[in-house]
Structure 1
Amino acid sequence: MLRIVRDVTKLNQIIAVEKGTKSRAQRDLTEAHGRLQKAVLLSGISRTYQPNDDEGETLPSESTKVQVRAEDVLREAGASLVRLFDVVATKDWANCEARADVVVDGSVVLSDVPVTYLLFLEKQLIELQSFIARLPVLDAAETWTFDESADQWRTEPVRTTRTKKVPRAHVLYEATDKHPAQVETYTEDVIVGTWTKVGFSGALPARRVNELKERAERLTAAVKYAREEANGVDVTDRRVGDAVFRYLLD
């Protein structure tokens, strides 16, 4: 594993190696901890028997060897962690130097951006795309114009009449000297006024939302490209694990 790390020359290769190295180190550390919990492996005895006189019964000696020495296990675990410490150190030192420009349509939006910030920016832009996708859109069934004075969108005025029922009478038969007049009453809808309705909205036109979506997508793509470019930087292998464990174990 140590030889492979020396051969790695790009930050993206170090990143690819890191996960496996962490898993192996964790597995080795767990195994070492388990071995040290088995007291029987750490214990040994030597027992011999000596009769009181030459004619006494002779019994065989007994012995059990120590199978695990804590110091050995500690150093083996340290050797596994040294590889992890070196890989992570190489990545983190390289992250301090890995930078790239964010370029959209040939224009530099951000220059010399650290790779760690590019990772943050990429995550935030993906969340921002979700936010933009949920923006309220103006009702397509209406015709909207922007009202500068109100700083919002408004519809064209729509006029509707207001009516009122007015009672009316209709003479069916005029009165005579023998019969009274026959009158039929009814109501008539009479226009008494006009409603003028104007709708207002703080939502956005669909074209504006689509424009924001496109800009966010293009910027996200540019950030991803910049991240890949930054991760392609040449790295210098770091050897810090030995120094750490020399101090801990010596």
Structure 2
Amino acid sequence: MTKLNQIIAVEKGVKSGATRELADKQALLGKPTLLAGLARTYQPKDEEGEQLPPESTRVQVKSEQVLRDTAATLTRLFDVTATKDWANCEAKADVTVDGTTLLSAVPVSYLLFLDKQLTDLLAFVARLPVLDAAESWSFDDSSDTWRTDAVRTIRTRKVPRNHVKAEATDKHPAQVEVYYEDIAVGYWTTVKFSGALPARRVNELSARIDKLRRAVQFAREEANGAEIADRRVGEVVFDYLFG
């Protein structure tokens, strides 16, 4: 019996080899001189005439042989692909995390899908916005967001003041310098809100996704290790096509 992972391992090589051989065969059929043959003999008009040797050219490429070779090449590819595709319908495994089976008898094709989606989801979670660690946050049920404690700050306003540098005399006016003084006029009470997530939550999500992804990968390897039946469909197909 063959295992699914063995078929998967050889499929790529068989496919590339078949593609290459078909291209070579197509190139041969595109050279008319290789398909052409010739045989001719010469006979002079009379016995005293010049004797010439016979000429011949052998046919080097025969289309029917090319068809037989093509059928042989593609039969292997058809059989390998059929074996893999039939096996993908039959090979299944459970996805188990921490001893709990989350999904039962999952086909290989869906395990491949899950692996790709979980990889993308892990990258998505890694880009989630995280709360500013410089602030102290608590969850506010009324707004369904995170919030900081209220911080009270003073609002000030600049008020001009006069500073007399020199008193006025009968000869000179007073020398006055204007300066501004910050005077408290009110108070701001500020609460910050955020729709981001705590770093702890993001780390928990990433760890959970990664754990499930590893369980899926384990299940896929288990399914790929199942013994499968070799399928023989290529010969039937090409007996009909080229027979």
Q: Normalising by the residue count of structure 1, what TM-score does the alignment of the two structures yield?
A: 0.89
CA root-mean-square deviation? 2.3
Deviation string 1:140-198 (CA, Å, 9 cap, x unpaired) is: 000111110001011111110011233456789999xxxx9998765432211100111
Identity %: 66
Letter of the structure 2 residue corresponding to residue 249 of structure 1: F
Change (3 A) 1:20 1:169: closer
Distance 2:181 2:151 in 1: 25
How many residue pairs get matched? 241
3-state DSSP class of the match of 1:204? Answer: coil
Corresponding position of 2:219: 226
Corresponding position of 1:4: none
Deviation string 1:30-54 (CA, Å, 9 cap, x unpaired) is: 1111111111111011111111222
Q: What runs of 5+ residues in structure 1 fail to find an aligned partner?
A: 1-7
Corresponding position of 1:165: 158
Change (3 A) 1:207 1:56: same
3-state DSSP class of the match of 2:75? Answer: helix
1:56 shift after superposition: 1.9
Corresponding position of 2:210: 217
Corresponding position of 1:241: 234
User: Pick from 77, 93, 105: which aligns with 2:98?
Assistant: 105
Letter of the structure 2 residue corresponding to residue 204 of structure 1: L
Corresponding position of 2:191: 198
3-state DSSP class of the match of 2:152? Answer: strand
Change (3 A) 1:182 1:125: closer
Q: What runs of 5+ residues in structure 2 fail to find an aligned partner?
A: none
Within-5 A mapping of 1:60-139: 60-139=53-132
Corresponding position of 1:15: 8
Change (3 A) 1:244 1:171: closer
Q: Normalising by the residue count of structure 2, what TM-score does the alignment of the two structures yield?
A: 0.92
Deviation string 1:55-108 (CA, Å, 9 cap, x unpaired) is: 222111111111110110111011011001001100100110111111111111
Change (3 A) 1:186 1:31: closer
Distance 2:194 2:109 in 1: 41
Deviates more, 1:145-154 or 1:161-170: 161-170
3-state DSSP class of the match of 2:2? Answer: coil
